Structure 1
Amino acid sequence: MTEPQTRIVVLTAPGEGLPAGMEPLENEAELRVAEDMAGLESALPGARVLCVTDFRTDALAEAWPAADRLEWIHATSAGVDALMIPAVRDSDIPVTNARGIFDRCIAEYVLGQVIAFCKDFAGNWQLQQAHRWQHRETEPVAGQRMLVVGAGAIGRRIARTCGAIGIECDGVGRRARAGDEDFAAIYAQADLLSLLPDYDFVVIAAPLTEATRGLFGAAEFDAMAGHARLINIGRGPIVRTEALVDALRDGAIDGAALDVFEEEPLPADHPLWDLPNVHLSAHMAGDFIGWKKALSAQFLDNFRRWQRGEALNNTVDKAQGFVPGT
């Protein structure tokens, strides 16, 4: 008797369809695309693999009782917070993520924002629109001090990229570590409040976990230097948005570059759109031309490993919410 094909369920955002680059699997697996809770609930019975491309989904918790044969869950994102429902976290089903795909481009984004702030590109644009010639002096980039909150793979790439042009980069991790090759120093998250006054740029590159949710609020913004800028490429809920808006309005910090938000999409009437010295982008810091195919190629490679019974790449420590050692 012929073995039935492995059923792979791909959970996407509505209207996305099968991700580009997954077409090779159509000849060797039963692919089912689900776009909502009802579709996921229908597709899960008998499925052995679940690939989640919608990092904002809340469908998994409701559809989970239908997962009767699941052996592996993959997220095509670095963050896996949407998947860490108790049933998944407490199971023996491995969860993998997209570590390594977005690191370089996110680091380029952060460096670009640092340069944009230091060279006041926004001011240049405003003067250009007013047809106004105004000579000004701007800040040097080399010598700026940066604190990267989240010393994992993405944070490390940020430190390496920014350090290459003379930015002094320290990191914050779960615990302090000495002798790092990319960070001048890595401090413990417990010491964050006492560290913040010493930096020109504070970059959030941490995953969203119970330990980081709401990590930046009024006390943290009050502790930052008045000339400092915040850059968030981690997850929106790490920052308490109302406290950030107050800090920007009151001048507690000088500016912010935000790629992620507590509420996405950011509502059109949100005050962040109109605050001066705020740079906003639509959760796209790491999304380069061809990123979807790169994510599919990474999943296909791990699928081959799974078929051969080999260890999976990028296995998440579900208790912590990220891949260990990053």
Structure 2
Amino acid sequence: MTDPTLLLTHTVPPETSEALLDALRAEIPDADLLTAATPEETADLLPAADALITGRLDADLLADADIEWVQALSAGVDSYPQEALQERGIALTNASGVHAEPIGEQVLGGMLAFERGFLDAMAQKERTSWERVEGGELHGKTLGIVGVGAIGTRVAKLGSAFGMEVLGTKRDPDTAPEAVDECFGPDGHTELCRRADHLVLACPLTPETEGLIGADELRLLDGDAVLVNVARGEVVDEDALVRALQYGWIRGAALDVFETEPLPADSPLWNLSNVLLTPHMAGSTPKKAERWAGIIGENYRRFGADEALVNRIC
């Protein structure tokens, strides 16, 4: 098989595509790279492409494409037309691992914000009120991770380094990393809810995980527990979470993802004092382009050698 011609589609914004192109030229200098800034340019260049690098993908685009591989720039691919890709025999690979370090650090920051009383201290700062805040410790607490993939593994290592007991769920518990003290199968999330002081959601959005954490699961959490969601908003029943936060079923939540994004202005989450809210930015990092290029470069070489692609979804 010959080396593929890669098309960076218009779905990747200019500020991102420029850095990614520089990184790709360093990683695979001899590659034939095409770039499109508009939907029209993507359509015009599509016949010349063997593979797409894209931020999103409409099924309609596949009708006019003769491509063999789609590289997503996200870890989550729930919005991609996977059935249509499978029917056409087109490989789909994701960017799993690219976001593990920044998201892991964001999770750690969220847990520390609640454990060390940063939210209370910031609220008092706004009131110019000097009041003592009592901080806790992550050391000795129990960390539950729903979905020990690349991101969950990094969270586990950070939690373990802080002296936390680490529990997790994974499709194959036998492949859990050493940092996880006890691992359960995909249906073990209720056990994590029952035992975790900090429950971290790091699983992909699938039909099985949609609505995974609802009122029943939130009731299993201790009243001093914190929920951290860096997965997808739909993994949690948001109405049930709002009730849990309003009525003190749990201590608080650090949320980077939501059922509707941007988060509507009338969402109660904006005004809850026990919520740390960030605008779906946990994966942001200045090192993203070089990490993307590393995955794309590896798959470029494997594609040309007719070898199995890394991070293949379908």
TM-score, normalization: structure 2?
A: 0.88
Alpha-carbon spacing, 1:86–1:39, altered in 2? closer, same or farther (3 Å): farther
Deviation, structure 1 residue 303:
2.1
Aligned to 2:51: 49
Deviation, structure 1 residue 119:
0.6
Cα contact 1:143–1:168 (8 A) shared by 2: yes
Which secondary structure state, in structure 2, belongs to the residue aligned with residue 82 of structure 1?
A: coil
Alpha-carbon spacing, 1:248–1:40, altered in 2? closer, same or farther (3 Å): farther
Deviation, structure 1 residue 45:
3.5
> 1-side partners of 2:176 and 2:237: how far apart?
33
> 2-side partners of 1:213 and 1:84: how far apart?
17
- Counterparts of 1:199-238 in structure 2 under 5 Å? 199-238=196-235
> 1-side partners of 2:144 and 2:3: how far apart?
52
Aligned to 1:85: 82
Alpha-carbon spacing, 1:239–1:35, altered in 2? closer, same or farther (3 Å): farther
Alpha-carbon spacing, 1:43–1:210, altered in 2? closer, same or farther (3 Å): farther
> 2-side partners of 1:178 and 1:283: how far apart?
29
Aligned to 1:276: 273
Q: Where is the helix percentage greater, Structure 1 or Structure 2?
A: 2
User: Which runs of 5 or more residues in structure 1 are unaligned?
Assistant: 319-326
- Counterparts of 1:35-184 in structure 2 under 5 Å? 40-52=42-54, 54=55, 57=56, 59-67=57-65, 69-177=66-174, 180-184=177-181
Cα contact 1:208–1:238 (8 A) shared by 2: yes
Deviation, structure 1 residue 181:
1.1
Alpha-carbon spacing, 1:193–1:132, altered in 2? closer, same or farther (3 Å): same
Q: Name the count of aligned residue pairs.
A: 309
Structural RMSD (CA): 2.7
User: Higher mean Cα deviation, 8-17 or 243-252?
Assistant: 8-17
Alpha-carbon spacing, 1:187–1:301, altered in 2? closer, same or farther (3 Å): closer
Cα contact 2:192–2:199 (8 A) shared by 1: no
Cα contact 1:148–1:202 (8 A) shared by 2: yes
Write the deviation string for residues 76-104 of structure 1: whole angstroms up to 9, x where unpaired: 11112222431113443222121222112
Cα contact 1:9–1:32 (8 A) shared by 2: yes
Which secondary structure state, in structure 2, belongs to the residue aligned with residue 171 of structure 1?
A: strand
> 2-side partners of 1:27 and 1:178: how far apart?
37
Cα contact 1:146–1:167 (8 A) shared by 2: yes
User: Higher mean Cα deviation, 7-16 or 229-238?
Assistant: 7-16
1:253 aligns with 2:256: no
Deviation, structure 1 residue 8:
1.9
1:33 aligns with 2:32: no
Which secondary structure state, in structure 1, belongs to the residue aligned with residue 200 of structure 2?
A: strand
Deviation, structure 1 residue 138:
1.8
Cα contact 1:15–1:35 (8 A) shared by 2: no
TM-score, normalization: structure 1?
A: 0.85
Q: Aligned AA for 1:217?
A: G
Greater RCO (Cα-Cα under 8 Å, separation 6 or more): 2
> 2-side partners of 1:175 and 1:239: how far apart?
23
Aligned to 2:190: 193
Which secondary structure state, in structure 1, belongs to the residue aligned with residue 49 of structure 2?
A: coil
Deviation, structure 1 residue 279:
0.6
User: Which runs of 5 or more residues in structure 2 are unaligned?
Assistant: none
> 2-side partners of 1:176 and 1:249: how far apart?
35
Cα contact 1:41–1:64 (8 A) shared by 2: no
> 1-side partners of 2:19 and 2:146: how far apart?
33
Which secondary structure state, in structure 2, belongs to the residue aligned with residue 166 of structure 1?
A: coil
Cα contact 2:121–2:133 (8 A) shared by 1: no
